[in-house]
Structure 1
Amino acid sequence: MQPPVIYRHFNDKEGLLDALAEHGFALYLPQKQQETKHDPVQALRSGWDQHVQFGLKYPELYLLMYARIGRGPSPAAELSFKALHRHIASVAAAGRLRIPVDRAVALLHSAAMGIVVSLLQSQPRERDLTLSSMARDNALSMIAITEPTPLRKSALSAAASAIQAAVRVEDGFSTSEIALLKEWLKRLAVK
């Protein structure tokens, strides 16, 4: 493909790379939509495994989507990040999130990316895939009550996270009231 054609279709090299990343996301998304619906924590566990498998199967696309140093995430990675946010909000809505949604998203996202990049540095036959399951289980235990149980010590924290994820302006609160409520809930969620 000649440069004039690239510029006509994609505006520039970054546009071409973004289109490739979107193609990668189109491959990735159908896998993610088959997640377990009845247990939101199990859905996160499955989503982690699918994320790692995708990264190992398509390393070039994965790095194109997620490893954009200094340029911010690709539009495809943004969509993936938003999907992760929705999944973690469903954990909060179920009363099983230990920490605020945004913090849980940041932790799980960075841990999963770190595992994929770390595994990609090894030759396929030398990869220790148990590192992924160990990191996944540790990350999930930090952010979620992994087994649904009756009230536990972190019940207040989980309830605060659930309410924080559910509150919206449409519920009759003003923007200021929501900001104040979310600040209080954020404090309760980290206890």
Structure 2
Amino acid sequence: MVAAAQNRTQLIEVAMDLLTAHGPDAVTTRAVAAAAGLQPPAIYRLFGDKDGLLDAVAEHAYAAYAGHKAVDHGADPLEDFRTGWDLHIGFGLANPAVYALVVDPRRTSTSPATRAGREVLLARIRRIAATGRLRVGEQLAADLTHAVGTGTILALIAEAPDRRNPALADTAYQALLNAILTEARTPPTNGATAAAAALRTAVPDLDVLSPAERRLLTEWLDRITTGPPSR
């Protein structure tokens, strides 16, 4: 068992090194096994096939990255949000081949590390909502942030490093803020959406309401911030 775990870790690390240095085409079962000093059948025993190995590489890479994304509850919510954005952009640009693997839709839907990263993002969004600055629902803001961030990184890594526009990430970030934030730091008197978004963050702590009442209130507040459900 110990040897199998060690071999698994070694194969993942070797595959990630090959992916980082030479791109996905270099990650063959033969090349990975040779670099790890093992026989190719070891990969099939531990991962099933090459795709299973790549799944493990993506999970390992994103788990290591997500471990540095903890929400800073002592920071201003917007500063913490910007820190998260910069970390995400930096990770993608520093690890383009790994990032392309991590955001592959075939892997993200089943990745525990991806889900953990999305929870961190949602926590950052929730802190902004609690200040009354969110103009849309929390989930929409998180989804939009994920979409803009992913699109920005993929656009940048598609270009040669010397051809990348250094202003793209900052411009995309400002456009994102314009889409999800109100202009004022406190909810305006007619800011029903911002007020609803702020109240939505407190619903889980409203012990005066029953669980059924909290679910109903959550549904109402979500309807205010995102509109009625599509029919």
Same fold flag (TM > 0.5): yes
Distance of 1:158 and 1:143 partners within structure 2: 10
Distance of 2:186 and 2:109 partners within structure 1: 41
Amino acid at match of 1:98: R
Deviation at 1:43, TM superposition (A): 1.3
CA contact (8 A) 1:169 1:178 kept: no
Partner residue of 1:179 out of 206, 215, 224: 215
Amino acid at match of 2:171: M
Q: Residue 105 of structure 2: SS of its match in structure 1? A: coil
Show CA shifts across 1:43-64 (max 9, x none): 1122112111110100111111
62-71 or 179-188, which deviates more: 62-71
RMSD: 2.8
User: What residue number does 2:195 align with?
Assistant: 159
1:80 to 2:117 alignment: yes
CA contact (8 A) 1:161 1:189 kept: yes
User: What residue number does 1:108 align with?
Assistant: 145
Distance of 1:137 and 1:107 partners within structure 2: 13
Distance of 2:107 and 2:54 partners within structure 1: 15
CA contact (8 A) 1:35 1:46 kept: no
Aligned-pair identity in percent equals 37
1:54 to 2:78 alignment: no
Show CA shifts across 1:102-133 (max 9, x none): 11011010010000011111000100021111
CA contact (8 A) 1:164 1:185 kept: yes
Distance of 1:171 and 1:36 partners within structure 2: 23
Show CA shifts across 1:59-86 (max 9, x none): 1111111123587363322221111111
* Count of aligned positions: 190
Deviation at 1:91, TM superposition (A): 1.1
Partner residue of 1:7 out of 31, 38, 44: 44
Which segments of 5 or more consecutive residues in structure 1 lack a partner in the other structure?
A: none
128-137 or 178-187, which deviates more: 178-187
CA contact (8 A) 2:70 2:120 kept: no
Q: Residue 135 of structure 2: SS of its match in structure 1? A: coil
Amino acid at match of 1:102: Q
Amino acid at match of 2:104: A
Which structure would you say has the larger RCO, counting Cα contacts within 8 Å and 6 or more residues apart?
1
User: What residue number does 1:141 align with?
Assistant: 178
Structure label with greater radius of gyration: 2
Which segments of 5 or more consecutive residues in structure 2 lack a partner in the other structure?
A: 1-32, 34-38
Amino acid at match of 1:112: G
Q: Residue 95 of structure 1: SS of its match in structure 2? A: coil
CA contact (8 A) 1:89 1:101 kept: yes
User: What residue number does 1:99 align with?
Assistant: 136
Q: Residue 201 of structure 2: SS of its match in structure 1? A: helix
Partner residue of 1:29 out of 56, 66, 74: 66
Amino acid at match of 1:110: A
Deviation at 1:31, TM superposition (A): 4.2
TM-score (norm 2): 0.70
TM-score (norm 1): 0.83
Deviation at 1:177, TM superposition (A): 2.2
